[in-house]
């Protein structure tokens, strides 16, 4: 399926996804959107794992297993994050990240 | 020659008693601590007597051996720098064991009566045990460093005992004074030890005091300011001894130290602590005599001057304990002088023997005098001898024992001090006529001031007492009677056989050319006191007025306290301490405060960076990572 596609193309895609995620995390004010940005970052890493595994060590599966772990952890993280966001919503009636600034000097 | 291992218990028992009565004393009735301490001390006393008996009267053909029944390495810094703790038995240390445990046991027994009902009864007994422990450790030290350790312990425990009434400002001041003065002298001692061990490479008394030893070989070439290293070392060590023994320039603490309870005065300031200096000089005697003859001259003159100086002051004092304190100073001067004029070996070592002999007899009669004074104070609740009079009717036992002690110190024939003082005078006569003359006069003065005290207290008219004075309980009078017997008969011990400079016995007879005049001047002193103080009269007051300024100066102890105060307050405080305090406050403290201030100001400036905005942090983090990554790429390429 991926024969003929050079490695660099995959890396370009994952780099673009990574920086979209970073920008989204820094720029977007909505906590849910920020969470989605984090997922983008994680998934760009997943692509890297799978692709490097496939291109460099085709007989082995460690990279793919890593990406499976990352997917599992991302699911757990999302559930915790959403639980937090729901609590923030109950307290503040919105989920703007700028309002969550109690922890300062 | 082993079999003396049990001597360890002589010093361990007081230590255990100190810990037990000190830690558990609060839980019991006070009297339990007193009885425990006394029993412990009694055991030590019996052990000491057994030691002395088997040491002195056992096998000693060809002189006494130096025995080290117990020694352990305490600290080992390098192969040569080793500090040991151990027990050394030789004639002087065995004699001191007997003196210390005897006096301490008597004082313990006496204190049960004297301190009865005082707050801190248990504390008092634990301090007494601590003091006895440190004093015993001092005399049985095998090396000069161990001696120094216990020397300081003696200083601390005497501080605790003098300041026993810590709610009384004068007692606190006195204890501080005693501690600071002796501590100041100990600095000299420490430097002396360092020089000595640097030159000889050893701390052990065994190696240091061996006659004809080669370890001083390198010392001859060393000198500082034209004075040889050994003279410096010995003089500095003597300063330490002079501080503890209250010799002339450092004598100021002893009279004030009478603020402590009277049994403490008896224990510390008569019989044990103050003779530590004499003991130190005696311990180092071969070194001083052969390596530092100049120091020995200094010791002789300091001793002679102190004895005269203190005897003169004692005449004018009216606090009975102070009279006794100055009398102690004067007698200590005698002992120092005897060491100063002594030679080494056989008849030549007469002064050494006489000094130790006098130390022994003095311990007995001076402890008796102090305990007797305590009994008087206990009866009339005053220290001032003009508040007393006619007490012989009320205090018969105290009266008789006190009289015996006064007769003894005055050198009346066939009592103990007659023999020891006579030996000192003979030794002085052979060495130095001037010192002999001084001591001869002091013998008369001693008799005079002791009998002035005696007649004032026990004769004359009755005063208005708050209640009729009554004799002290038996627990206080038994020590008095025992010590009175000891004062009478201690002189018959054959000291010339037992305690000598080279540990070999020698024969010595009475020298009637010295004994007769010294007895006569003693009797003359007694007669003078009898004429002046037996009956109340105006004569002493007139005499005092006649001497005018001289009397006033003597009464104020020649203003030595004031001189010291002037030097410390006006000169040291103003010109040394104040600049140092200023430097401390304005330079060292300011530097530390400055560091704090800078940190505080800086954190005010940058605290805005912690905004609480998650995205600011994330941005900083990403930017930092990027910068790091870019710079890595840039520098790696």
Condensed to tens digits (0 to 9), the pLDDT of residues B511-537 reads: 677 778 888 888 888 888 777 777 666
Tens digit of pLDDT for each residue in B246-264? 888 788 888 888 888 888 8
DSSP annotation of B471: P
Tens digit of pLDDT for each residue in B598-624? 999 999 988 888 888 888 889 999 999
Q: Any chain A CB within 8 A of the CB of B603?
A: no
Inter-chain touch B611–A104, beta carbons under 8 Å: yes
Q: What is the pLDDT of residue B1?
A: 45
pLDDT, average across residues B559-580: 80
Task: Share the mean pLDDT of chain B.
Answer: 83
Q: What is the pLDDT of residue B538?
A: 66
DSSP annotation of B587: I
Cα B575 to Cα B193, B567, B578, B581, B590: the distances in Å are 31, 11, 6, 11, 22
Of residues B462 and B580, more confidently modeled: B580
Tens digit of pLDDT for each residue in B307-319? 888 888 888 888 8
Cβ neighbours of A101 in B, within 8 Å: 611-613
For B604, nearest residue in chain A (alpha carbons): A105
Q: What are phi and psi of B462, to 5 degrees?
A: -65, 145
Checking if the pLDDT of B60 tops 70, the result is: no
Residue with tokens 């100049």: B294
Q: What is the pLDDT of residue A46?
A: 93
What length is written for chain B? 637
Tens digit of pLDDT for each residue in B225-234? 667 778 888 8
Q: What are phi and psi of B423, to 5 degrees?
A: -60, -40
Of residues B89 and B629, more confidently modeled: B629
Band (B219; pLDDT cuts 50, 70, 90): low
Tens digit of pLDDT for each residue in B379-406? 887 777 777 777 777 888 888 888 888 8
Q: What are phi and psi of B89, to 5 degrees?
A: -110, 120
Q: Any chain A CB within 8 A of the CB of B610?
A: yes
pLDDT, average across residues B459-466: 71
Would the ipTM clear 0.90, i.e. be above it? no
pLDDT, average across residues B331-344: 85
How far, in Å, CA of B604 to CA of B624, rounded? 23
Checking if the pLDDT of A7 tops 80, the result is: yes
Q: Which range has highest mean pLDDT (A61-70, B52-61, B290-299, B472-481)?
A: A61-70
Q: How far is B591 from chain A (nearest CA, A)?
A: 28
For residue B443, what are its two tokens? Answer: 């013998």
Checking if the pLDDT of B470 tops 90, the result is: no
Q: Which long-range contacts (CB under 8 A, 24 or more apart) does B73-82 make?
A: B80/B201
Helices B474-489 and B91-114: crossing angle in degrees, nearest 10, is 150
Checking if the pLDDT of B325 tops 50, the result is: yes
Of residues B2 and B537, more confidently modeled: B537
User: In chain A, what's the furthest Cα-to-Cα distance?
Assistant: 55
Q: What is the pLDDT of residue A34?
A: 92
Cβ neighbours of B615 in A, within 8 Å: 25-27, 97
Inter-chain touch A100–B614, beta carbons under 8 Å: yes
Q: What is the pLDDT of residue B2?
A: 56
Q: What is the pLDDT of residue B539?
A: 65
Tens digit of pLDDT for each residue in B131-162? 999 999 888 888 888 889 999 999 898 888 88
Checking if the pLDDT of B62 tops 70, the result is: no
Tens digit of pLDDT for each residue in B406-449? 888 888 887 887 888 888 888 888 877 888 888 888 888 888 88
Cα B169–chain centre separation: 23
Closest residue to A97, CB basis, from B607, B615, B619: B615
Cβ neighbours of B608 in A, within 8 Å: 105
**pLDDT over 90, % of chain B:** 7
Residue with tokens 């002193």: B525
Residue with tokens 């002037």: B566
Q: Do B353 and B510 meet the contact criterion of CB atoms below 8 Å apart?
A: no
Cβ neighbours of B612 in A, within 8 Å: 100-104
Cβ-Cβ contacts under 8 Å between A and B: the total is 26
Cα B464 to Cα B364, B386, B531: the distances in Å are 33, 11, 24
Tens digit of pLDDT for each residue in A26-77? 999 899 999 999 999 999 999 999 999 988 888 888 889 999 999 999 999 9
How far, in Å, CA of B415 to CA of B479, rounded? 18
How far, in Å, CA of B151 to CA of B144, rounded? 10
Please report which residue ranges of chain A form alpha helices under DSSP H.
7-27, 31-56, 62-92
How far, in Å, CA of B496 to CA of B507, rounded? 7
Compute the CA torsion angle B4, B8, B10, B14 (nearest 10 deg).
Answer: 180
Q: Any chain A CB within 8 A of the CB of B492?
A: no
Kind and range of the H or E element at B86?
strand B82-89
At B75 the three-state DSSP class reads: strand
How far, in Å, CA of B132 to CA of B283, rounded? 19
Q: Any chain B CB within 8 A of the CB of A22?
A: yes
Q: Which long-range contacts (CB under 8 A, 24 or more apart) does B343-347 make?
A: B343/B289, B343/B501, B344/B211, B344/B285, B344/B286, B344/B289, B344/B290, B344/B501, B344/B502, B345/B211, B345/B501, B345/B502, B345/B504, B346/B500, B346/B502, B346/B504, B346/B506, B347/B506, B347/B508
For residue B188, what are its two tokens? Answer: 């000299």
Closest residue to B614, CB basis, from A22, A27, A97: A97
| CATH number, domain A7-93 | 1.10.287.3510
Closest to B613 measured CA to CA, from A90, A34, A74, A21: A34
Closest residue to A104, CB basis, from B612, B618, B619: B612
Cβ neighbours of A22 in B, within 8 Å: 622
Closest residue to A22, CB basis, from B607, B612, B622: B622
Predicted TM-score (pTM) of the model is 0.76
């Amino acid at each position: 399926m991926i024969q003929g596609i050079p490695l660099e193309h995959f890396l370009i895609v994952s780099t673009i996804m990574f920086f979209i995620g970073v920008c989204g995390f820094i720029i977007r004010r909505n906590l849910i959107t920020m969470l989605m940005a984090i997922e983008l970052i994680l998934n760009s890493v997943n692509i890297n794992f799978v692709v490097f595994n496939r291109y460099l060590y085709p007989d082995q599966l460690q990279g793919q297993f890593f990406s499976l772990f990352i997917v599992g952890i991302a699911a757990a993280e999302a559930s915790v994050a959403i639980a937090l966001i729901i609590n923030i919503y109950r307290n503040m009636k919105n989920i703007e990240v700028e309002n969550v600034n109690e922890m300062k000097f | 020659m082993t079999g003396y291992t049990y001597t360890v218990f002589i010093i361990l028992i007081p230590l255990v008693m100190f810990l037990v009565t000190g830690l558990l004393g609060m839980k019991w009735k006070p009297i339990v601590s007193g009885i425990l301490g006394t029993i412990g001390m009694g055991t030590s006393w019996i052990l000491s007597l057994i030691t002395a008996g088997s040491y002195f009267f056992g096998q000693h053909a060809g002189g006494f051996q130096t025995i080290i029944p117990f020694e352990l390495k305490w600290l080992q810094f390098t192969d040569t720098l080793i500090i040991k703790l151990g027990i050394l038995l030789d004639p002087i240390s065995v004699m001191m064991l007997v003196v210390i445990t005897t006096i301490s046991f008597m004082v313990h027994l006496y204190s049960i009566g004297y301190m009865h009902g005082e707050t801190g009864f248990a504390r008092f007994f634990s301090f007494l045990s601590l003091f006895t422990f440190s004093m015993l450790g001092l005399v049985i030290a095998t090396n000069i460093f161990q001696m120094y350790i216990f020397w300081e312990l003696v200083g601390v425990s005497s501080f605790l005992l003098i300041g026993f009434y810590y709610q009384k400002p004068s007692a606190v001041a006195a204890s501080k004074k005693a501690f600071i003065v002796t501590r100041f002298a100990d600095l000299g001692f420490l430097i002396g030890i360092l020089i000595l061990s640097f030159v000889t490479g050893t701390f052990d008394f065994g190696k240091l005091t061996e006659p004809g030893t080669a370890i001083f070989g390198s010392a001859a070439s060393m000198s500082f300011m034209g004075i040889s290293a050994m003279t410096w070392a010995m003089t500095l060590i003597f300063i330490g001894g002079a501080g503890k023994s209250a010799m002339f320039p450092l004598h100021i603490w002893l009279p004030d130290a009478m603020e402590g309870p009277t049994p403490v005065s008896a224990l510390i300031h008569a019989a044990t602590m103050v003779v530590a200096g004499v003991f130190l000089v005696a311990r180092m005697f071969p070194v001083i005599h052969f390596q530092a003859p100049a120091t020995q001259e200094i010791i002789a003159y300091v001793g002679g001057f102190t004895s005269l100086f203190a005897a003169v002051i004692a005449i004018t004092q009216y606090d009975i304990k102070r009279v006794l304190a100055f009398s102690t100073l004067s007698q200590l001067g005698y002992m120092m002088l005897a060491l100063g004029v002594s030679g080494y070996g056989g008849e030549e070592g007469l002064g050494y023997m006489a000094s130790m002999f006098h130390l022994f007899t003095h311990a007995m009669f001076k402890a008796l005098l102090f305990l007797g004074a305590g009994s008087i104070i206990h009866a009339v609740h005053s220290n001032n001898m003009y508040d007393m009079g006619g007490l012989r009717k009320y205090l018969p036992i105290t009266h008789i024992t006190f009289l015996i002690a006064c007769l003894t110190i005055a050198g009346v024939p066939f009592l103990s001090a007659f023999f020891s003082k006579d030996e000192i005078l003979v030794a002085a006569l052979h060495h130095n006529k001037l010192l002999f003359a001084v001591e001869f006069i002091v013998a008369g003065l001693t008799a005079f001031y002791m009998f002035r005290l005696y007649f004032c207290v026990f004769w004359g008219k009755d005063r208005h007492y708050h209640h009729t004075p009554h004799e002290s309980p038996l627990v206080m009078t038994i020590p008095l009677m025992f010590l009175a017997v000891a004062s009478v008969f201690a002189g018959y011990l054959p000291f010339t056989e037992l305690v000598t400079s080279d540990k070999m016995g020698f024969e010595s007879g009475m020298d009637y050319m010295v004994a007769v005049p010294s007895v006569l001047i003693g009797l003359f002193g007694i007669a003078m006191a009898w004429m002046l103080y037996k009956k109340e009269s105006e004569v002493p007051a007139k005499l005092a007025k006649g001497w005018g300024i001289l009397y006033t100066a003597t009464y104020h102890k020649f203003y030595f306290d004031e001189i010291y105060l002037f030097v410390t307050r006006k000169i040291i405080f103003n010109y040394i301490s104040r600049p140092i305090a200023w430097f401390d406050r304005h330079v060292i403290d300011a530097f530390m405060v400055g560091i704090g201030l800078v940190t505080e100001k800086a954190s005010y400036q940058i605290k805005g960076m912690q905004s609480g905005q998650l995205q600011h942090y994330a941005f900083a983090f990403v930017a930092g990572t990027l910068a790091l990554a870019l710079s890595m790429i840039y520098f790696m390429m």
